Structure 1
Amino acid sequence: MKDIQIKKSEEQSSQPGQENKMTPEPISIRDNYNGSDKLKDKVVLLTGGDSGIGKSIALHFAREGAHLAIIYLSEDDDARQTMAEIENEGTRCLLLKGDIKDEEFCKKAVNETISHYGSLNCVINNAAMQFPAEHIEEITSANLHTTFETNIYPYFYIVKAAIGFLNENDTIINTTSVTAYRGSEHLIDYASTKGAIVSFTRSLSKSLAKKGIRVNAVAPGPIWTPLIPATFNGEDLENFGKDVPLGRPGQPAEVAPAYVYLASQDSSYMTGQVLHVNGGEIIGG
């Protein structure tokens, strides 16, 4: 895909950001991506599915025949647009607005998904927040708590609520990050939560292997999503993603097919693993 030209003026004032205000607009799915019913009639619960990587996952899953339940925080316009695009693929979409830091809301979201669709086959933990800080002394207690309470606690809340509805051959997919492997000097708390997600994925996969429920993760590199203009500014925003070997930030459409693979029978002999879609960074793990 072509290089993305990001301007300093694209910064947004609050997280998790709004896709409908981004220029250039992220590419959520390629026109030439042809679905083949890999996920036909599967029911998928996805956090942070209104925009960015989450929206792209939702559209790819819909094109593969899945029905979606999308959790989002507050971006109503983005959520409604994503719902319309999912339904345009010929599948169904349930919007669930709320804060995943609240365990009771997470339980409610799972129960509403079951009530609406009657089943659940795939859980995708994807939503995240980040607060850049140049030095650890600059990480406020409030931002530290928000980062952990958004990025890792809900993984436990949602899986605990959903596990009783998942069966053999069902899947759980978690979004970690390249920062979990190479670190990030200005995202110490965020990278720490992403490292926790790697350990969560590996441990949960062992716990559920006997039940035939597979647990894997995807570790994206720099991807052009609403979270980026909502958290970076100035030169950091303009130079975003240019330091990877491919020399550019990635598009959500370049990440989402990895989730399709992990949710489908194509990956039936894979659990406890992480797929690295990061523009060419060579990392361990």
Structure 2
Amino acid sequence: MSDHSEQTLPPQHQDRQPGLESRMQPPPVYRNEHYKASGKLEGKVAVITGADSGIGRAVAIAYAQEGARIVLLYLNEHEDAAQTQREITLCGQPSLLFAGDIGDEAFCRSVVDRTLAQWGQLDVLVNNAGEQHPQACLEDISLEQWQRTFQTNIVGMFLMTKSALPHMFEGAAIINTTSITAYRGHPTLIDYSATKGAITAFTRSLSTNLAERGIRVNAVAPGPIWTPLIASTFDAQKVSTFGSDTPLGRPGQPCELAPAYVYLACNDSSYMTGQVLHLNGGTVING
């Protein structure tokens, strides 16, 4: 395992959250130029939250490469979202772009209604949006922060899923982004880790509930991935050594996660539900 203090990135910090991918150095790698698509999602419609940048952008591009029509949800990062939409267009696929808060039930319903009006179906839902706010100790976490983190990370996921489910049928897939912190915890991300534990439990419970309907529910638990969330969360020194404590000794890139989301969305994973894929640079997770 690499020395935890080894530099992996240039020191940097963004003072706004969500962060902007366009301001990161080096920029995250969201497209794998060697990826060979084979039409695994041909004819599908996929809704992806937090799709403007990071993991969401990489998943959106991979899905488009596989033939899916894409619905991109984001909060207010308009420049990043426009770039993601341009990338999808280059893949030869159409897309819809919606800015808003998934913690607002009316917004979630509107997205589903407009998606159905445009394409008449909804086959894949990727619940990926999230936020985190480090604090040195529990006493420093305000009730407002605690509620805000849960509102985005788990309530938003619930509302988006509840809005989409009546229009999803046998063969559909729901994929949730949980985290290594759900299994290992994190000393300064207590509220965030708690939401990710809730997402893991939500994934397992919903999968059993929907099994008879033929709708599969799985999750991906990323380790340290170079996304705008990192640059906007931690101070410059912590960012500079981000991912150095993994067995691979570096942070992962968003494009390295995208194939897992493709697998969980397509028929290749037809016998998998209620499971979590751990893409974390080699950390062994038991549980």
Using structure 1 for the length normalisation, give the TM-score: 0.97
Q: What is the alpha-carbon distance in structure 2 between the residues aligned to residue 234 and residue 214 of structure 1?
A: 40
1:102 to 99, 104, 107: 104
1:20 to 18, 22, 40: 22
**Contact persistence 1:4–1:24 (CA under 8 A):** no
Question: What SS class does the counterpart of residue 39 from structure 2 fall into?
Answer: coil
What is the deviation of 1:4? 8.4
**Contact persistence 1:201–1:217 (CA under 8 A):** yes
In the other structure, the counterpart of 1:141 is: 143
In the other structure, the counterpart of 2:259 is: 257
Q: What is the alpha-carbon distance in structure 2 between the residues aligned to residue 228 and residue 278 of structure 1?
A: 15
Alignment of 1:1-285 (within 5 A): 5-8=8-11, 10-285=12-287
Greater than 6 Å deviation, 4+ residue runs: none
Q: What is the alpha-carbon distance in structure 1 between the residues aligned to residue 22 and residue 82 of structure 2?
A: 11
Please tell me the residue identity of whatever aligns with 2:273. T
Q: What is the alpha-carbon distance in structure 2 between the residues aligned to residue 5 and residue 208 of structure 1?
A: 42
Q: What is the alpha-carbon distance in structure 1 between the residues aligned to residue 120 and residue 80 of structure 2?
A: 26
What is the deviation of 1:224? 0.1
Question: What SS class does the counterpart of residue 126 from structure 2 fall into?
Answer: strand
**Kindly tell me: are residues 264 and 7 of structure 1, through their superposed partners in 2, closer, same or farther at Cα, counting changes over 3 Å?**
same
**Contact persistence 2:8–2:242 (CA under 8 A):** no
Q: What is the alpha-carbon distance in structure 2 between the residues aligned to residue 159 and residue 111 of structure 1?
A: 13
What is the deviation of 1:109? 1.1
Question: Which runs of 5 or more structure 2 residues have no equivalent in the other structure?
Answer: 1-5
Question: What SS class does the counterpart of residue 70 from structure 2 fall into?
Answer: strand
**Contact persistence 2:203–2:217 (CA under 8 A):** yes
**Contact persistence 1:131–1:231 (CA under 8 A):** yes
In the other structure, the counterpart of 2:3 is: none
Structure 1 residues 181-238: Cα deviation after superposition (integer angstroms, max 9, x where no partner): 0110110000000000000000000000000000000000000000001011132111
Structure 1 residues 32-80: Cα deviation after superposition (integer angstroms, max 9, x where no partner): 1011000012000110001000000000000000010011000111111
**Contact persistence 2:8–2:241 (CA under 8 A):** no
Structure 1 residues 141-183: Cα deviation after superposition (integer angstroms, max 9, x where no partner): 2211110000000111111111111010110000000000011
What is the deviation of 1:111? 1.1
Question: What SS class does the counterpart of residue 152 from structure 1 fall into?
Answer: helix
Q: Which has the higher contact order (CA 8 A, sep 6+)?
A: 2
Question: What SS class does the counterpart of residue 68 from structure 1 fall into?
Answer: strand
What is the deviation of 1:5? 4.0
Structure 1 residues 103-130: Cα deviation after superposition (integer angstroms, max 9, x where no partner): 1111111111111111100011000000
Question: Which runs of 5 or more structure 1 residues have no equivalent in the other structure?
Answer: none
Q: What is the alpha-carbon distance in structure 2 between the residues aligned to residue 110 and residue 262 of structure 1?
A: 21
What is the deviation of 1:139? 0.8
